């Protein structure tokens, strides 16, 4: 029997040796074909991405050029009108009837230049001398920024100020002004032209910027003059530390770059241009999401097609292998493959339940465990507690130390949280952003408070510096909610989360760095 088995084994070995070159050749051919398909699809996807990006660069550059031309034209018109007005004031208004002639002249200039909202001339005390408006206006503008600027600066050129609301009409306007001087060079007043902000807005709203695109222009010193979509509260704010102004200072008067917006945190492709004669930077931007939305859809289709083709090839290859390979060898390989696949699935299952940054359970795992523990508690009528916490002033921490340090901070806090969720049935999870959650089965309110206080003290014991926090170090606020499910009614997971979140909010409202139950 052993001899027969030995002969059979030798026969099988000879068959295997004969088939080995063929199997190797077919395997190599399959690998080469799959590699070629993957490489071709990757090249197609990459090329398509470059095309979309290039088209977006061209579109934003063209829009920036058009916007710069429009802004430059409006500024030039206002500059020419102001220069003429200053000349008339300094040389003609002292004559008889000069003020009336100036008033008529300003009204005529404003009528011709539709970009101009109004023209005004003030004396050295801020009182109105002449205006393009139909009737002279009362009031004093000596408190305006542009008036104070010319009063203290002997600059004869055009000065552009941040937008203000017109005292005469209540509209948002951009003040453009020039200094008026007496014959001896002393300050004699200000000539002012105002441009309506909504005239720019009408032009900008006619452009297709996608769902998250933006247009803005600002002064060189970072003063925001206009931004689309229009937000009144950001007009006149300082954006000098924003990505666009930084890029302008580093790269020069025109350029295109993918940048993160300071105001709303959206990543966009910005094209900017600096006006040649005026201290203004104009930018147009399309969001990365809008640029690559169509590319993502087409790329998924290409990838799906390639994967389907590769799957078909692998299936055909396996069919051939079954026909030419020895049954035992194939079974061994399948068993090995099954074992490896099971290991890979175990690894993937673990990864799918773990937060990649903190290595705590992720939101999905948190939901599964909370559902399971509430059902178990319903059967046993035992309490379940939930702690929600987040890092106080975490945005200020990121602003002060950067996002890399912020990630390190979250990992360190996560270790402190996990260290206090000591029982095997307890679960520490990252709830989202700088928020964490701890599920405490069979734990009443007093026990939950003890764990919450332990977490708070453990974080304080880390003594992580935080200049944006009143304590000068990283701290957390916590809310601890407890529920004892009834056998008949059960427990509402969302209600428990809402309770813990409300208690967390109470901790923040009460001064932070505390646990509320």
Work out whether strand 515-516 and strand 427-432 pair parallel, antiparallel, or are unpaired.
Answer: unpaired
Residue 141 pLDDT: 83
Residues of the chain with pLDDT under 70: 1-23, 93-98, 136-138, 168, 324-339, 342, 344, 346-348, 350-351, 487-490
Structure tokens at 187: 């300050």
Taking CA atoms, 34 is separated from 40, 190, 300, 312, 344, in Å, by 10, 75, 18, 11, 22
pTM assigned to the model: 0.51
**Under DSSP, is residue 221 helix (H, G, I), strand (E, B) or coil?**
coil
pLDDT in tens, 285-317: 888 888 888 888 888 888 888 888 888 888 887
Range 202-288: architecture per CATH: 2-Layer Sandwich (3.30)
How far from the centroid of its chain's Cα atoms is residue 115's Cα?
34
Work out whether strand 254-260 and strand 224-228 pair parallel, antiparallel, or are unpaired.
Answer: unpaired
Per CATH, the number for 363-516 is 3.30.70.270
Asked: is 76-198 a CATH 3.30.450.20 domain? The reply is: yes
Q: Where are the domains of the chain?
A: 76-198, 202-288, 363-516
225-233 long-range contacts, Cβ below 8 Å, gap at least 24?
225/160, 225/162, 225/163, 225/174, 225/197, 225/280, 226/163, 226/197, 226/200, 226/201, 227/263, 228/201, 228/204, 230/201, 232/172
Residue 368 pLDDT: 93
Residue 336 pLDDT: 67
Residue pair 81/113 in contact by the 8 Å Cβ criterion: yes
The answer to whether domain 202-288 and domain 363-516 are alike in fold is: no
pLDDT in tens, 240-288: 888 888 988 888 889 998 888 877 888 888 899 999 888 999 988 888 8
Residues, the chain: 517
How far from the centroid of its chain's Cα atoms is residue 500's Cα?
28
Q: Which helix (H) or strand (E) holds 299?
A: helix 288-324
**Under DSSP, is residue 223 helix (H, G, I), strand (E, B) or coil?**
strand
d(CA 239, CA 280): 13
Residue 326 pLDDT: 61
**Residues whose CB falls within 8 Å of the CB of residue 128, separated by 6 or more in sequence, listed in order:** 120, 121, 122, 136, 137, 138, 139, 141
Residue pair 390/476 in contact by the 8 Å Cβ criterion: yes
Residue pair 477/513 in contact by the 8 Å Cβ criterion: yes
């Amino acid at each position: 029997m052993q001899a027969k088995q030995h002969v059979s084994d030798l026969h099988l070995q000879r068959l295997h040796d004969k088939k080995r070159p063929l199997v190797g050749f077919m395997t190599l051919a399959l690998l080469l074909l799959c590699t070629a398909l993957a490489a071709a699809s990757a090249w197609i996807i990459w090329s398509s991405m470059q095309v979309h990006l290039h088209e977006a660069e061209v579109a934003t550059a063209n829009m920036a050029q058009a916007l710069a031309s429009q802004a430059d034209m409006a500024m030039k018109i206002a500059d020419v009108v102001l220069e003429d007005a200053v000349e008339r004031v300094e040389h003609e208004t002292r004559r008889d009837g000069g003020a009336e002639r100036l008033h008529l002249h300003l009204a005529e200039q404003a009528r011709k230049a539709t970009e101009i909202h109004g023209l005004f001339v003030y004396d050295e005390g801020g009182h109105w001398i002449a205006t393009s408006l139909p009737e002279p206006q009362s009031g004093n503008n000596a408190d305006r920024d542009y008036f104070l600027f010319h009063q203290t600066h002997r600059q004869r050129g055009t000065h552009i100020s941040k937008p203000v609301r017109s005292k005469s009409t209540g509209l948002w306007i951009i003040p453009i002004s020039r200094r008026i001087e007496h014959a001896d060079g002393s300050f004699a007043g200000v000539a002012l032209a105002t441009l309506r902000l909504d005239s720019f807005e009408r032009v900008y709203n006619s452009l297709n910027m996608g769902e998250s695109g933006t247009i803005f222009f600002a002064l060189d010193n970072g003063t925001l003059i206009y931004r689309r979509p229009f937000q009144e509260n950001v007009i006149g704010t300082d954006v000098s530390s924003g990505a666009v102004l930084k890029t302008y200072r580093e790269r020069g008067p025109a350029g295109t770059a993918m940048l993160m917006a300071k105001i709303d945190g959206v990543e966009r492709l910005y094209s900017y241009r600096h006006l040649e004669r005026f201290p203004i930077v104009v930018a147009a931007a399309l969001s990365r999401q809008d640029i690559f939305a169509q590319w993502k859809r087409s790329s998924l289709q290409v990838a799906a097609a390639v994967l389907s083709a590769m799957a078909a090839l692998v299936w055909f290859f396996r069919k051939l292998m079954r026909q030419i390979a020895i049954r035992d060898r194939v079974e061994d390989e399948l068993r090995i493959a099954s074992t490896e696949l099971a290991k890979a699935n175990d690894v993937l299952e673990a990864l799918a339940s773990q937060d990649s940054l903190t290595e705590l359970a992720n939101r999905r795992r948190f939901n599964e465990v909370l559902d399971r523990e509430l059902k178990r508690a319903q059967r046993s009528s035992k309490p379940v507690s939930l702690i929600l916490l987040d890092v106080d002033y975490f945005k200020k921490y990121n602003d002060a130390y950067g996002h890399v340090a912020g990630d390190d901070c979250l990992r360190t806090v996560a270790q402190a949280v996990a260290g206090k969720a000591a029982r095997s049935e307890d679960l520490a999870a990252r709830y989202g952003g700088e928020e964490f959650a701890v599920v405490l089965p069979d734990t009443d309110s007093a026990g939950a408070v003890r764990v919450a206080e332990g977490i708070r003290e453990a974080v304080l014991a880390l003594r992580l510096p935080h200049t944006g926090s009143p304590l000068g170090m990283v701290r957390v606020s916590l809310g601890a909610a407890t529920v004892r499910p009834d056998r008949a009614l059960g427990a509402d997971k969302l209600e428990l989360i809402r309770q813990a979140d409300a208690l967390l909010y109470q901790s923040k409202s009460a001064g932070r760095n505390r646990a509320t139950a």
